[in-house]
């Protein structure tokens, strides 16, 4: 933990102390430090709302003036249970700690009426006086199942944010205000991009015409880019037999994120949660030689994940995902070049979408967990991790190395990007697989006639349509670039006598593959323009007396305002 994380963890204790001042019968459960702040989960017997947060925050700051150190001590299981005899949540944690053979520790802060003791592993600020009372704030209340399990009781979670300085807190609040304006759920509804319906089911988005147009443009970009890079498109089923997922190793390890099986013809079928086993079967459909490698198979495959209801969030966390997936089968001697090309594709997309800040999160394995969490191939782990690391260093791509977070079949990279307002997103992944091809018996014939198992690179540069479009909505604040905008041009007639010419302009644009809309309504021009701006249309063409007479149009740009007039034959050139 760094110092700021210690501050945030300490503030979680302070929050619980203040809450108990007002709600002494509340049962406090867990309160960790998280990104940008902290939270604490409570079981309340008296209702609490966000209107109560200011008084709790004020009390936190009053208590803080009397706090100094956090004193930790080891305690027996019997003593711990006696202390928390009326708190079943703490008893459950104590039982778990004891069964794992771990030491039970309590931490106490404050004294007298402000003393607070909690079951805790530690990680606090050495001196609470170093916490800046102007640099933290309680932000919201949310429901949270105990330990994230829907079968457990719903608790009340109080969130707070904390930084080192008042200025950092102010900057964060400003960013959050802007993020609220850019919320993809709000803009997605206003711009008619997607919707959800209870009869369809939670986490299953319905793409409206505007959203479908964005998807089609993204697919067009990806397929053109992949075609140039030597990928071949494939299509595979949305379901498969249980035996295939057992062979791949996804059952039973990933069973919790797969939908329950369907019984059919005496066997079990699963909705696919990943595309790779299907692509392995395509590789195995014919005999391969070293001349066929690298073989790059790409698919916008739809997958289904059984995400918990409490974790669903707009397009960012859904149960149906359309993934920009591909699998590259190659020899060891080809691996570095292929992995580098995948990273180059990421960098190309960053330029296309104006993503300026990014980092590759390189996840490696823990040698102590081979055979348990990771495939027991120590030599292949060492070799592939070294190869990935070498490519990252040679390419001078910013990366951080995270131990013990690899996939079970090999090291991986998660691509972290920041939107235009500085919010971080996990966008995509790039994974090495040296284990599953062997499970499927995939081989190719080498130059000297031997059979060898290929390495496999899993990659998804644009991630899923759902998460990526959610990111883009925030990144652009709904004002998509011209090529990606569902409506590129809006044609507006001022009065009745201008409608015929406006229709002619509209038809001309459509014939030239411009995504245009015509507003020939009898509304006032000002209202028509406001409506077009609310739609965030890149260009508005206004048709009045002058335009009809000169057979031209006046062009209004979303970014630049009035950019002049253009004759009918020059409209397309002017728009470009």
Could you state, in order of their start, the residue ranges of all structural domains in the chain?
3-176, 188-236+275-476, 487-575
Token digits for 450? 């031997």
Q: In this predicted structure, what is the pLDDT of residue 53?
A: 97
Averaged pLDDT for residues 179-185: 92
Cβ–Cβ under 8 Å, residues 515 and 213: yes
pLDDT in tens, 497-555: 999 999 999 999 999 999 999 999 988 988 999 999 999 999 999 999 999 989 989 89
Q: In this predicted structure, what is the pLDDT of residue 2?
A: 53
Averaged pLDDT for residues 224-253: 94
Averaged pLDDT for residues 171-199: 94
What DSSP letter does each residue of 220-265 carry, written as one string?
Answer: HHHHHHHHHTT-EE----SEEEHHHHHHHTHHHHTGGGSPPPEEET
Q: How confident is the model at residue 140 (pLDDT cuts 50, 70, 90)?
A: very high
Which of 222-226, 511-515, 565-569 has maximum average pLDDT?
Answer: 222-226
Q: In this predicted structure, what is the pLDDT of residue 186?
A: 94
Averaged pLDDT for residues 300-329: 92
Kindly report the CATH class assigned to 3-176.
alpha beta
pLDDT in tens, 459-479: 999 999 999 999 999 999 999
Give the residue with greater pLDDT, 434 vs 1: 434
Coil, helix or strand at residue 538 = coil
For residues 231, 237, 243, 247, the Cα torsion angle rounded to the nearest 10 degrees is 10
Q: Which CATH superfamily is domain 487-575 in?
A: Anticodon-binding domain (3.40.50.800)
Looking at domain 188-236+275-476, its CATH architecture is 2-Layer Sandwich (3.30)
* pLDDT higher than threshold 90 for residue 93: yes
Q: How confident is the model at residue 1 (pLDDT cuts 50, 70, 90)?
A: very low
Residue 493's DSSP bridge partners are 543
Q: In this predicted structure, what is the pLDDT of residue 30?
A: 96
* pLDDT higher than threshold 50 for residue 151: yes
pTM exceeds 0.75, yes or no: yes
């Amino acid at each position: 933990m760094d110092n700021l994380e210690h501050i945030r963890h300490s503030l979680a204790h302070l929050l619980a102390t203040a809450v108990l001042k007002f709600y002494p019968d509340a049962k406090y459960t867990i309160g960790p430090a998280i990104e940008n702040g902290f939270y604490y989960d409570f079981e309340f017997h008296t209702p609490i709302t966000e209107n109560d947060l200011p008084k709790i925050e004020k009390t936190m700051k009053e208590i803080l003036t009397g706090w100094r150190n956090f004193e930790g001590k080891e305690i027996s299981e019997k003593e711990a249970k006696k202390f928390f005899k009326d708190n079943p949540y703490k008893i459950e944690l104590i039982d778990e700690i004891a069964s794992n053979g771990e030491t039970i520790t309590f931490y106490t802060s404050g004294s007298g009426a402000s003393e607070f003791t909690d079951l805790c592993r530690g990680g606090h600020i050495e001196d609470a006086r170093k916490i800046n009372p102007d640099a933290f704030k309680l932000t919201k209340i949310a429901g949270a199942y105990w330990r994230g399990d829907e079968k457990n009781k719903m608790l009340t979670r109080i969130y707070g944010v904390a930084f080192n300085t008042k200025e950092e807190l102010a900057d964060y609040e400003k960013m959050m205000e802007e993020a609220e304006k850019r919320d993809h759920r709000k803009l997605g509804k206003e711009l008619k991009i997607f919707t959800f319906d209870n009869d369809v089911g939670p986490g299953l988005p319905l793409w409206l015409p505007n959203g479908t147009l964005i998807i089609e443009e993204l697919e067009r970009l990806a397929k053109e880019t992949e075609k140039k890079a030597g990928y071949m498109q494939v299509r595979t089923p949305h379901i498969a037999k249980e035996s295939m997922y057992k062979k791949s190793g996804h059952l039973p390890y990933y069973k919790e994120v797969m939908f329950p099986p369907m019984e059919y013809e005496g066997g079990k079928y699963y909705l696919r949660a990943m595309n790779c086993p299907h692509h392995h079967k395509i590789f195995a459909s014919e005999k391969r030689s070293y001349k066929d490698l690298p073989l790059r198979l790409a698919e916008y495959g739809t997958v289904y994940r059984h995400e918990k209801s409490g974790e669903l969030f707009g397009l960012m966390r859904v149960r149906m995902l359309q993934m920009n997936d591909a699998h590259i089968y190659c020899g060891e001697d080809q691996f570095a070049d292929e992995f580098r090309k995948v990273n180059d594709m990421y960098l190309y997309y960053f330029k296309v979408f104006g993503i300026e800040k990014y980092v590759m999160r390189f996840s490696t394995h823990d040698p102590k967990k081979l055979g348990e969490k990771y495939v027991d191939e120590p030599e292949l782990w060492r070799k592939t991790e070294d190869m990935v690391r070498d490519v990252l260093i040679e390419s001078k791509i910013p990366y951080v190395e995270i131990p013990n977070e690899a996939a079970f079949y090999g090291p991986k990279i998660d691509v972290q990007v920041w939107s235009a307002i500085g919010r971080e997103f996990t966008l995509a992944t790039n994974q090495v697989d040296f284990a599953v091809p062997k499970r499927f018996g995939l081989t190719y014939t080498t130059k000297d006639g031997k059979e060898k198992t290929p390495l496999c690179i899993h990659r998804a540069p644009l991630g899923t349509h759902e998460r990526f479009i959610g990111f883009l909505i925030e990144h652009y604040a709904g004002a998509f670039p011209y090529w990606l905008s569902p409506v590129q041009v809006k044609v507006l007639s001022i009065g009745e006598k201008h409608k015929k010419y406006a229709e002619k302009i509209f038809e001309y644009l459509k014939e030239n593959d411009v995504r245009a809309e015509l507003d020939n309504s009898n509304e006032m021009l000002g209202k028509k323009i406001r409506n077009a701006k609310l739609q965030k249309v890149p260009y508005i063409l206004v048709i009045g007396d002058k335009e009809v007479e000169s057979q031209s149009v006046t062009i209004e740009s979303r970014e630049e305002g009035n950019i002049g007039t253009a004759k009918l034959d020059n409209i397309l050139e002017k728009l470009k």
